[in-house]
């Protein structure tokens, strides 16, 4: 049973629980530190954020925009509090403003990130969604994003940092983005997979649209 909690709200009074992400132990109780969803039955007790900036983890695939190109590497905006740094590999080189997909190779103690395995993305549309919604957009075993990709014929690159790059015919890109926006808006609801399938087939969205 998942419950919404706000910062400072008490989640549990039990002595044994451990506090995970978004929670803190104070004395004999565990309190939420962020606005999010908590499953009180899980251990450790952690709060899944309903909003918030991207928290980088090693191994994440992210989509960045080169903001400062240097001789041996470049600084990349990854939609996080700090830019990431990509050290060029051999002849690699990027220009300011280029959109790239890369992997987070390391994260330091203040969440500054090193990037690796970068490749440019072009001929498509870059959109930004709330980073916390990315897991839902990807879906279990990439099922959700696979459905959208097949249903529109688009190639979709999803960055954990809330950025998505869509390649395809213009009309297909429009539909893919719309489907993604539906998920972003209703990530917490059930029946989403069916809703998306229906939208891709018929173009209809039931329930509240805007």
| Interface residues toward another protein, by CB under 8 A | 4, 6-10, 22, 31, 33-36, 49-53, 65-67, 77, 81-83, 96-97, 99, 110-111, 125-126, 128, 132, 170, 174, 185-186, 188-191, 207-208, 210
- Residue 207 CB partners (closer than 8 Å, separation 6+): 186, 195
Shortest distance in whole angstroms from residue 90 CB to another protein: 25
d(C-alpha 63, C-alpha 158), whole Å: 7
Which residue, 87 or 126, has its beta carbon nearer to another protein? 126
In the complex, minimum distance from the CB of residue 89 to another protein, in angstroms, rounded to a whole number = 23
Q: How near is the Cβ of 44 to another protein at its closest, in Å? A: 16
Residue closer to another protein (CB basis): 8 or 59 = 8
Laid out side by side, the sheet with 36-39 consists of 2-5, 36-39, 47-49
Look at residues 179, 181, 184 and name the one whose alpha carbon lies nearest to residue 203: 179
State in angstroms the smallest separation of the CB of 15 from another protein.
Answer: 18
Closest CB to another protein among residues 140, 210 = 210
For another protein, the closer of residues 16 and 97 by Cβ is 97
Give dist(CA 73, CA 50) in Å, integer: 34
**Residue 67 CB, nearest distance to another protein (Å)?**
5
Q: Using the minimum distance from each CB to another protein, give the nearer residue, 59 or 191.
A: 191
Give the angle 29-39-53 at the CA atoms, nearest 5°: 90
Residue 43 CB burial class (10 angstroms; 0-12, 13-18, ≥19): exposed
């Amino acid at each position: 049973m998942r419950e919404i909690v706000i910062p400072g709200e008490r989640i549990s009074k039990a002595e044994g629980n451990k506090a995970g992400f978004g929670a803190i132990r104070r004395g004999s109780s565990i309190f939420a530190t962020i606005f999010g969803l908590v499953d009180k039955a899980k251990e450790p007790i952690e709060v899944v954020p309903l909003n918030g900036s991207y928290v980088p983890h090693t191994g994440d695939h992210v989509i960045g925009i080169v903001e400062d190109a240097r001789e041996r590497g470049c600084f990349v905006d990854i939609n996080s509090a700090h830019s990431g740094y990509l050290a060029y590999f051999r002849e690699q080189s990027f220009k300011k403003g280029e959109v790239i997909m890369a992997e987070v190779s390391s994260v330091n103690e203040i969440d500054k990130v090193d990037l690796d395995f970068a490749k440019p993305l072009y001929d498509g549309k870059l959109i930004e969604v709330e980073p916390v919604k990315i897991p839902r957009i990807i879906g279990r075993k990439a099922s959700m994003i696979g459905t959208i990709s097949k249903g529109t014929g688009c190639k979709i690159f999803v960055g954990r940092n809330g950025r998505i790059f869509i390649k395809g015919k213009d009309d297909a890109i429009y539909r893919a983005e719309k489907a993604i926006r539906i998920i972003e808006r209703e990530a917490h609801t059930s029946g989403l997979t069916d809703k998306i399938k229906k939208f891709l087939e018929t173009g209809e969205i039931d329930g509240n649209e805007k």
